[in-house]
Amino acid sequence: MKSFVEYSGETDFPIENLPYGVFTSAKNVNKHIGVAIGEWILDLNIIAHLFDGPLMKDKQNVFKEENLNAFMGLTKPHWIEARETLQKLLDKSNPTIQNDKDLRERAFVKQSEAQMHVPADIGDYTDFYSSIHHATNVGIMFRGKDNALLDNWKYLPVGYHGRSSSIVISGTPITRPLGQTLPVEGAAPHFGPCRLMDFELEMAAFVGGPPTKLGERVTAQEAGDRIFGFVLMNDWSARDIQKWEYIPLGPFTAKNLGTTISPWIVTIEALRPFVTDNFPQEPEPFPYLKHDDKFNFDIKLEVDITPEKTPVATTVCRSNYRYMYWTVKQQLAQQTVTGCNLRPGDLLGSGTISGETSDSFGSMLELAWKGTKPIRLLNGEERKFIQDGDTVTLRGYCENEGVKIGFGKCEGKLLPAVPLE
């Protein structure tokens, strides 16, 4: 496959990728749906009429929307056909857009001249806790080696409902929060700026397919048709606030201060060549959590920290999505087992993705092991947690002989706390 759009071999967005996003530009203040190719965005609002396949020809209007919910709300065969149409239209041999100068000029926007937006109206956002190395690390730190994994962890994908309003697009600054913490066990709590500000390296899946009804389950076996694609996600976490507030109902204000996602949704079809073995599961899961296909992906993940004053990026973590113990199909099955209804555009966070080695842990809490092993940055500074002015950048990509499928970046800068008036 070769496109008439030229791009370098290093691009995250070759014709084999074609991730979906929502953008505005100086020329176009209304949100349009686009796909990334090389350094360009192909504006689907402008070329909606070219989706002439048997399924999409009556659904072209979904590309006139300001978000991806309507397209996500169609079915997997629609998504596959749309992808085939896009690959055909962008192919070197196809004249439709290539040779129509007027259309071509209207249909392509430089990514550098576009502003990206949260690509869907996220009705509900769920965050899981499905990396075994992460759960084990946290367990060892807080309960010791012998009780590291809690009793339920290997029986079900533990998760909780998060705050959808606070999901923001890459590039949005995050403010260090104020909140209650308990600096001295047994003493009175303290109110002030969070002192243990952390990132969490996660990926998140957008749910697709028509809405389900309350009371309806989606088993793991059925869940494949309902995963539209993935983005990178940084679940910013105020560790000291979380520790004081989370008993017994879970994380609340420690996580609703902002969750950053990358703008381009990489589809399952684009990821399919990078499918890999599921993590071995013992004990065997209950039937509703079982699926017989591979649904794990070899996605390399990295986290950089770039301080404000000497802006040199240090890669502090190299992990991989394949370390997930529970698949996203199992996560969706768990979420719906009691009858929770789904809407297209729902978001499922993977949970912090940590590998086995100490340089592959997906949070500062683990990387600096509760502050006991500070991370040295390339500019000579040390970090136990995130400092004011630090930019945290997540990157992800799949790679095999010659093809790279990238996620772009998921970035945010931490601004200093704003005192209470």
Angle at 102 between CA 96 and CA 103, to 5 degrees: 45
Applying CB under 5 A, which of residues 12, 124, 200, 302 lies at the interface with Ca ion? 200
Residues 100-139 that bind Ni ion (CB under 5 A): 123
Q: For Ni ion, which is the closer residue by CB, 123 or 211?
A: 123
Strand partners, 320: 300
Applying CB under 5 A, which of residues 12, 43, 124, 235 lies at the interface with Mg ion? 235
Give the pairing of strands 201-207 and 114-117.
unpaired
Give the pairing of strands 266-267 and 227-234.
antiparallel
- Kind plus residue range of the DSSP H or E element containing 161: strand 159-161
Q: Give the chain's length.
A: 421
Residue found under tokens 């079809």: 269
Task: Verify binding: residue 366, Mg ion, rule CB under 5 A.
Answer: no
Buried b (16+ CB within 10 A) or exposed e, 193-229: bbebbbbbbbbbbbbbbeebeeeeebbbebbbebbbb
Residues 175-194 that bind its own copies (CB under 8 A): 175, 177-180, 182, 188-189, 191, 194
Among the listed residues 134, 161, 190, 291, the single catalytic one is 134
Q: For its own copies, which is the closer residue by CB, 104 or 217?
A: 217
Q: Among Mg ion, its own copies, Ni ion, none, what does residue 29 contact (CB within 5–8 Å per kind)?
A: none
- Kind plus residue range of the DSSP H or E element containing 117: strand 114-117
Q: Among its own copies, Mg ion, Ni ion, none, what does residue 235 contact (CB within 5–8 Å per kind)?
A: Mg ion
Residue 53, CA distances (Å) to 63, 65, 69, 95, 295 in order = 14, 19, 20, 17, 28
Establish whether 242 is an annotated binding residue.
yes
Applying CB under 8 A, which of residues 18, 70, 218, 238 lies at the interface with its own copies? 238
Q: Least distance (Å) from its own copies to the CB of residue 176? A: 9
Asked about 291 being catalytic, the answer comes back as: no
Give the Cα separation of 385 and 370 in Å (integer): 9
Q: Among its own copies, Ni ion, Ca ion, none, what does residue 286 contact (CB within 5–8 Å per kind)?
A: its own copies
Task: Verify binding: residue 147, its own copies, rule CB under 8 A.
Answer: no
Task: Verify binding: residue 235, Ca ion, rule CB under 5 A.
Answer: yes
Q: Considering only CA atoms, which of 36, 52, 49 is closest in space to residue 100?
A: 49
Task: Verify binding: residue 416, its own copies, rule CB under 8 A.
Answer: no
Q: Among Ca ion, its own copies, Ni ion, none, what does residue 404 contact (CB within 5–8 Å per kind)?
A: none
Site map (CB under 8 A) of its own copies, residues 101-140, x = contact = ----------------------xx----x-----------
3-state secondary structure 26-64: CCCCCCEEEEEECCEEEEHHHHHHHCCCCCHHHCHHHHH
Establish whether 202 is an annotated binding residue.
yes
Joined tokens for residue 213: 């009804």
- Kind plus residue range of the DSSP H or E element containing 206: strand 201-207
Instruction: Identify which range of 53-61, 268-276, 333-341, 405-413 contacts its own copies by CB under 8 A.
Output: 333-341
Q: State phi, psi for 195 to the nearest 5 degrees.
A: -105, -15
Q: State phi, psi for 143 to the nearest 5 degrees.
A: -130, -5
Q: Give the interface with Mg ion as residue ranges (CB under 5 A).
A: 235, 255, 259
Q: Give the interface with its own copies as residue ranges (CB under 8 A).
A: 123-124, 129, 150-152, 155-156, 158-166, 168, 172, 174-175, 177-180, 182, 188-189, 191, 194, 214-215, 217, 219, 238, 241, 244-254, 256-258, 283, 286-288, 334-335, 337-343, 346, 415, 418, 420
Task: Supply the residues annotated as catalytic.
Answer: 134
